[in-house]
Amino acid sequence: MIAAPAPDSHARLMDGIYRHQRHIYDATRKFYLLGRDRLIKRLDVPEGGSVLELGCGTGRNLMVAARAYPSARFYGLDISDEMLTTARLKIRREHSDDVIAVAQGDATAFDPLALFGRASFERVYLSYALSMIPQWEKAIAMALSVVAPGGSLHMVDFGRQEDLPGWFRAGLRGWLDRFHVTPRDSLRDAAESECERLNASCEFETLFRGYAIHAVIRLPASAEPRPRKPRRPSKQPRQAPAAYMPASSD
Ligand SMILES: C[S@@+](CC[C@H](N)C(=O)[O-])C[C@H]1O[C@@H](n2cnc3c(N)ncnc32)[C@H](O)[C@@H]1O
């Protein structure tokens, strides 16, 4: 089993990757971080609601979302100070300081009250961040712990590319690996298991022939724990599509 890197070393790794990349990030990523605007459209933020993005990077999504939901308040967390430098510059340039606040922190362990002055948010989302967070399952659990009752967690990230040609899938994965990006092939299973744990509902969409996956977990409105559903006796392993080759670490 590979040990997760210490938060400090992961922060240094992310800063190293984005120190120069942050200057061209928004212009280049629009071609391959697909599904981000779809996620924002589906957030359906209630009037005056609060929204948290974990792994907010340059703040691109926060700014698009702030334009789409003008009555909401937005918060962003990222482990990379380099990315946050760009985010803060952009937020100031667009005079959005009063609606968007960003802070440095680790998505797997943070204190929202200390960072943002609130304990929960109506909407929380992760956009192409889980594939860069070694302890990504812990990040999902942490994200769910700060969703307000009746709120939702939204995730978009690289999918299994199951309906894309094998050469494309292999090439994409090799290239992503160079940037420490690992598609989380068991994202759907992890989300389903969280839904079961929390008596929440799950929705999944496969985008662009499996290039990306969009998942939504909606929490029940009542904070009261509800009786757990009886567990199924044994879970059959998911049948892998013919074109799909399991990745080594997921
Ligand atoms: C590919 S970028 C995505 C940025 C943005 N969400 C988007 O959709 O454009 C991934 C971001 O996740 C951040 N990140 C990686 N690990 C993290 C962690 N453990 N906690 C918080 N942010 C993290 C990186 O610093 C980077 O800004």
Residue 226 lies in a domain: no
Residue 43 has a pLDDT of 98
> Cα of 225 to ligand 1 centre, how many Å?
32
Residue 186 lies in a domain: yes
Q: Which atom of ligand 1 is nearest to the CA of 29?
A: 9
pLDDT of residue 202 exceeding 90: yes
> Cα of 81 to ligand 1 centre, how many Å?
11
CATH number, residue 42: 3.40.50.150
- Pull the structure tokens for residue 42: 């589906």
Average pLDDT for 153-162? 96
Residue 175 lies in a domain: yes
Average pLDDT for 182-208? 96
> Cα of 229 to ligand 1 centre, how many Å?
34
Q: For the chain, what is the domain count?
A: 1
Going by C-alpha positions, the residue among 110, 102, 106 that lies closest to residue 86 is 102
Span 215-247, pLDDT tens digits: 999 999 985 555 555 555 555 444 443 333 333
Average pLDDT for 13-36? 85
pLDDT of residue 11 exceeding 70: yes
Residue 225 lies in a domain: no
pLDDT of residue 248 exceeding 90: no
pLDDT of residue 83 exceeding 80: yes
* Residues 77 and 55: beta-carbon distance below 8 Å: yes
Which pairs from 220-229 meet CB under 8 Å and 24+ separation?
220/149, 220/150, 221/149, 221/150, 222/149, 223/149, 225/199, 226/199, 228/196, 228/199, 229/196, 229/199
If one residue of 53, 60, 128 were mutated to test the ligand 1 pocket, choosing by the most ligand atoms within 8 A of its CB, it would be: 128
Residue 241 lies in a domain: no
**What pTM did the predictor assign?**
0.87
Range of the domain at 43: 7-218
Residue 106 lies in a domain: yes
Residue 240 lies in a domain: no
State what percent of residues in the chain have pLDDT above 70: 87
Residue 203 has a pLDDT of 97
Average pLDDT for 21-33? 82
Residue 43 lies in a domain: yes
State what percent of residues in the chain have pLDDT above 90: 76
